[in-house]
């Protein structure tokens, strides 16, 4: 399971960094686009803090973040998740927690981790749609594109 999560979260890091680079290249400052990206990234901290039984994350789930802030957040989240995965062997444990509105849930850590990358894919899709609507060019962050970049079949977008 560890190898799966190392690859899965390497993909997630690549996809988030690819989106940030796309936003930087086009000097995107649209509030809606940055808010959706901020939501995607802040969820990484919120879930990791829950899993590690740390205090509530300083990042607001729907906060307003600048592009430089988002870039730094992405880099920090990627590093923290890879460190956690590398140091952890028990992805099967059950996490008991309250969500951001206080509702109680119990889920396996591995299910939360799968959800988090899927959550990122969902919101990266929203960012791509918003970019196109605002006249910007979105970038492809599909998993297969990541795999093709890794294998040298494609240049990094």
Q: Would 156 be classed as within a structural domain?
A: no
Task: Give the count of domains, the chain.
Answer: 1
pLDDT at 89 over 90: no
CA angle 18, 51, 71 (to 5 degrees): 25
Q: What is the distance of C-alpha 111 from the center of its chain? A: 15
pLDDT at 100 over 90: no
> Each residue of 36-88: pLDDT tens digit?
999 999 999 999 999 999 999 999 999 999 999 999 999 999 999 999 999 99
Q: Average pLDDT of 129-152?
A: 96
Going 121 to 126 to 129 to 130, the CA torsion angle's sign is negative
Residues 6+ apart with CB under 8 A from 2: 85, 86, 88, 89, 91
Q: Would 157 be classed as within a structural domain?
A: no
> Each residue of 105-134: pLDDT tens digit?
999 999 999 999 999 999 999 999 999 999
If pLDDT is split at 50, 70 and 90, which confidence band does 10 have? very high
How big is the chain, counted in residues?
Answer: 157
If pLDDT is split at 50, 70 and 90, which confidence band does 146 have? very high
Domain of 47, in residue numbers: 2-150
Q: Going by DSSP bridges, is the β-strand pair 104-108/94-98 parallel, antiparallel, or unpaired?
A: antiparallel
Q: Would 66 be classed as within a structural domain?
A: yes
108: helix, strand or coil: strand
CATH code of the domain covering residue 56: 1.20.120.450
The pair of structure tokens assigned to 1 is: 């399971």
The C-alpha atoms of residue 52 and residue 95 are separated, in whole angstroms, by 10
pLDDT attached to residue 74? 98
Residues 6+ apart with CB under 8 A from 48: 54, 57, 77, 80, 81, 84
């Amino acid at each position: 399971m560890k190898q799966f999560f190392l690859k899965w979260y390497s993909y997630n890091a690549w996809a988030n960094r690819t989106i940030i680079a796309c936003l930087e290249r086009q000097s995107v400052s649209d509030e809606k686009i940055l808010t959706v990206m901020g939501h995607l990234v802040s969820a990484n901290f919120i879930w990791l803090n829950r899993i590690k039984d740390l205090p509530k994350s300083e990042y607001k789930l729907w906060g307003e973040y600048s592009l430089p802030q988002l870039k730094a957040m992405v880099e920090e989240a990627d590093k923290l998740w890879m460190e956690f995965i590398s140091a952890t062997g028990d992805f099967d444990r059950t996490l008991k927690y309250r969500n951001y509105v206080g509702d109680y849930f119990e889920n396996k850590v591995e299910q939360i981790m799968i959800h988090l990358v899927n959550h990122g894919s969902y919101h990266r899709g929203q960012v791509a749609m918003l970019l196109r609507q605002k006249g910007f060019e979105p970038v492809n962050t599909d998993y297969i594109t990541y795999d093709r970049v890794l294998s040298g079949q494609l240049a990094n977008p």
